[in-house]
Structure 1
Amino acid sequence: MVNSKEFTKRLEKIIDFYGLSATAFSEKIDFNRSTISHLLSGRNKPSLEFVMKVVQTFPEVELYWLLNGKGSFPSESKTVNQNLFSDTSLSKNEIVEQKQNLPSQNTATDISKTTSSSEIDRIVIFYKDGTFKAYSN
């Protein structure tokens, strides 16, 4: 049987780890916001469907850890790729500050100005969900 209070703590840890609001979390796993609210308040226990969506959407979450609190989170083997692209130790304010300091949308143009001897062949953007988009000349 799942301990509701402990499950709630683990769910909050997942939401905090990804820097999501409860609403953003519910959208990411395609579940009603009210379901998340009821789970976080301890009113309801998680359904199998909910647990499976969390585990499938967030590969760093181990099923056994989510249900029983035994094991580790984030899963060390699955966070290597994420840590290459983001620093989850930053606070929300630090993230906002860093976003404000990003270059303008003309980044490709700015980069091509600084690379005088070679041309850019392709730009690839990697998303946290494991997908990517490639842009070529």
Structure 2
Amino acid sequence: MTAAQFADKIGISPSSLSHILSGRNNPSLEVVMKIHKACDYISLDWLLYGEGEMETDVDSDNNGSFPGPLFDENSLFASNGTNVPEYRKEIEVKASTIPPKEIVREEIKYIEKPARKITEIRIFFDNGTYETFRPEK
């Protein structure tokens, strides 16, 4: 049975089941109850707490249910709990191997220039002429 078929069987969307299987979301009590209702041979203690046997002693016909494990890979019902996806937030981020940049200290130097002196003044007139004045030395 595929994950999509199982999601359809218990009455949830395939994307919701995918999020549960990938570890992004935990199953709600409603989802656990839907699993138990669809597969009544699965023990509630095992579903809720991971304790005891997965299957209970129910008649062998299982009310049309399927025998054996629900999925071959990424089982929602894996009891060891060691399958943690690499993209989970809990994964430690490795430190960068690039050394930090040096701090550059910038200095500004003000250089005093000698005082300016007036060397010439020109006055322009409206008739196109001008006069030049030079200070006496």
Q: TM-score, normalization: structure 1? A: 0.44
More helix by share: 1
Higher Cα Rg, which structure: 2
Q: Which has the higher contact order (CA 8 A, sep 6+)?
A: 1
